[in-house]
Chain A
Amino acid sequence: MSDKVIIAKDLTRKFGNFVAVDAVSFEVSKGEIFGFLGANGAGKTTAMRMLCGLLAPTSGAASVAGFDIASQTEMVKKHIGYMSQKFSMYGDLTVKENFLFYGGVYGLKRKVILERLDMMLGLLQLREATNSLVDSLPLGWKQKLSFSLATLHQPGIIFLDEPTGGVDPIARRQFWDLIYEAANDGVTIFVTTHYMDEAEYCDRVSIMVDGKIEALDSPENLRKQFNAESMDAVFQELARGTSTK
């Protein structure tokens, strides 16, 4: 098996006449932090949904963790973790209950789930939250816990959809510590964000404009390529022409 864990080739999705994702091709290596940027409506969410096996491509193909996203969706889902700002955990269940539920969904044994929960909360220094209702926790904690939850079944790839929206700057960075840690352990991270400073933390960044990937490189190279001071400037440069749509 190659170390490319995501391979997209001419991935396309149309909704009626509208081409949301237009023949997108890229590869992501094992253990890489891959930033997926784009203006609102550029097609990020659609692309991400296809990669997670939630939406069938109109044409083109992609494999995730070695499985075809169109024909082996169940296998794809088994091998990925997913976390978004909007959906994380059930607020009216405790942290432990959430973990038991999701672990159960992935077919993990109760004992295994509780062991991993204890280990993860230990690392986060959030053991005290084990039996708290999720709704009663601060947003920053919730997001860290959601991340742990997404890694509970030890997936090789984690998809993060704007994971840090609205949290305070410290919590945001603590969250990125988790991402780094996971990447260090060989987990591949596929992340979208609207914070341009976070784009800098990625190994490589792709910028989507109108359904196409217009730029794809390390933040440093992109800055050089566009002769820009920051990723924000790169983004402004690329996406400006289309923002007035």
Chain B
Amino acid sequence: MKPAISIQKLNKSYKDEQALKNISFDVEQGELFGLIGPDGAGKSTLFRILTTLLLADNGEAEVMGLDVVDDFRNIRNRIGYMPGRFSLYQDLTVEENLDFFATIFGTTIEANYDLIKDIYVQLEPFKDRPAGKLSGGMKQKLALCCALIHKPEVLFLDEPTTGVDPVSRKEFWQMLKRLKQQGIAILVSTPYMDEAALCDRIALIQKGEILSIASPESINDSFHGTLVAMKSHRMYELLKALRIHPKVESCYAFGEYLNATLVEGVTDWKPIEQDMRDKGFDDLVAHDATVGIENVFMQLLSKTEA
């Protein structure tokens, strides 16, 4: 079976900036593939090349085995795309938007209602409301419905959850999981690291380069060194104290705790804990930290930056 998306050595430059550097990866059919990286990493450029909106400088890309340059008309019939910004007609109602997108894809809402039913039932009470007056989470659901209405085989979602609150985000990912079960391949980008764990595989991207591709579980194994979690009531002082400790490579806040990566070769953090207590952090709590994708990403980032 051909992969849903196949990318080989893709390069793209704008005036003085290389937006994509030698990107290669495949997305299998029915896979939920996450592209994780901050703004400006090149995610949107990659999406636009794959959705046939932009031409790459060189390299090859295929969607459903079709070339993104030569077969762009065919591809357009078979993919669904949700661009980075909310891109529906604000002055048209929910139903009018959906109806419009169904018609331009040569289909009707009824014909493909099955696929969107789960999502659309939540929107149905507001179907006569202009899209511009929906809440953030609702807009995003409508955009997803519009991208799905022609039963695409591959779904491209460019930062669908940016600026959306955590509750709506969680719901959105549950919807993606259900779509995946229906055999739709999904390429989704996000700046939120916590969402990465919900993908089958993820690619970490920064400054146009892919730093790593793996499943969320195995990507955590690629973390080098020992990670320790500490907290105290005087967090900022603790952070500063840990950063200057000779055995600490780097230290960052991670939610409730600080995560300190120890310098290479050091695995025992007890002496550090003791040093901190000696410095007056009496209420110090310390234990082994669970490595998360964000830890890995930060490690990869500091490596490329150095």
Seen from chain A, the residues whose Cβ lies within 8 Å of a Cβ on chain B are 38-42, 138-140, 162, 165-171, 173, 176-177, 180-181, 183-184, 194-197, 200-201, 219-220, 223, 230-232, 235-236, 239-240, 243-245
Contacts and interface: CB of A to CB of B under 8 A. Distances in A.
Most chain B CB within a 10 A radius of its CB, from A230, A239, A244: A244
B164 A138 contact: no
Given A139-B40, A166-B191, A194-B166, 18 more contacts: A38-B165, A39-B137, A41-B136, A138-B40, A165-B191, A167-B38, A168-B37, A169-B294, A173-B253, A180-B236, A194-B165, A200-B253, A200-B256, A231-B255, A235-B166, A239-B166, A243-B137, A243-B167
Interface in B272-297: 294, 297
B131 to A, nearest CB: 14
Contact of B166 (A165, A177, A220, A236): A236
A171 B165 contact: no
Nearest to A235: B166
B235 interface: yes
Interface string B162-175: 11111110110000
B113 interface: no
B100 interface: no
B135 interface: yes
A170 B236 contact: no
A170 B166 contact: no
Given A167-B39, A170-B298, A176-B253, A201 B167 contact: no
Contacts of B38: 139-140, 166-169, 171
Contacts of A200: 253, 255-256
Contacts of B206: 168
Contacts of A236: 166-167, 170
Interface of B: 37-41, 122, 135-138, 162-168, 170-171, 191-194, 206, 235-236, 239, 252-256, 294, 297-298, 301-302
Contacts of B239: 177, 180
A100 to B, nearest CB: 27
B235 to A, nearest CB: 7
A230 B171 CA distance: 18
Nearest to B135: A41
Contacts of A235: 165-167
Most chain A CB within a 10 A radius of its CB, from B38, B41, B191: B38
A170 B39 CA distance: 13
A139 B39 contact: yes
Given A169-B294, A219-B256, A195 B192 contact: yes
A240 B167 CA distance: 6
A223 B298 CA distance: 27
A7 B168 CA distance: 31
27 contacts: A39-B135, A139-B40, A165-B163, A166-B39, A167-B38, A168-B37, A168-B206, A168-B297, A168-B301, A170-B298, A170-B301, A171-B38, A173-B252, A176-B253, A177-B239, A180-B236, A181-B236, A194-B164, A194-B166, A196-B194, A197-B253, A197-B255, A219-B256, A230-B255, A235-B166, A235-B167, A236-B166
Contacts of B164: 40, 194
Contacts of B170: 236
Nearest to A203: B235
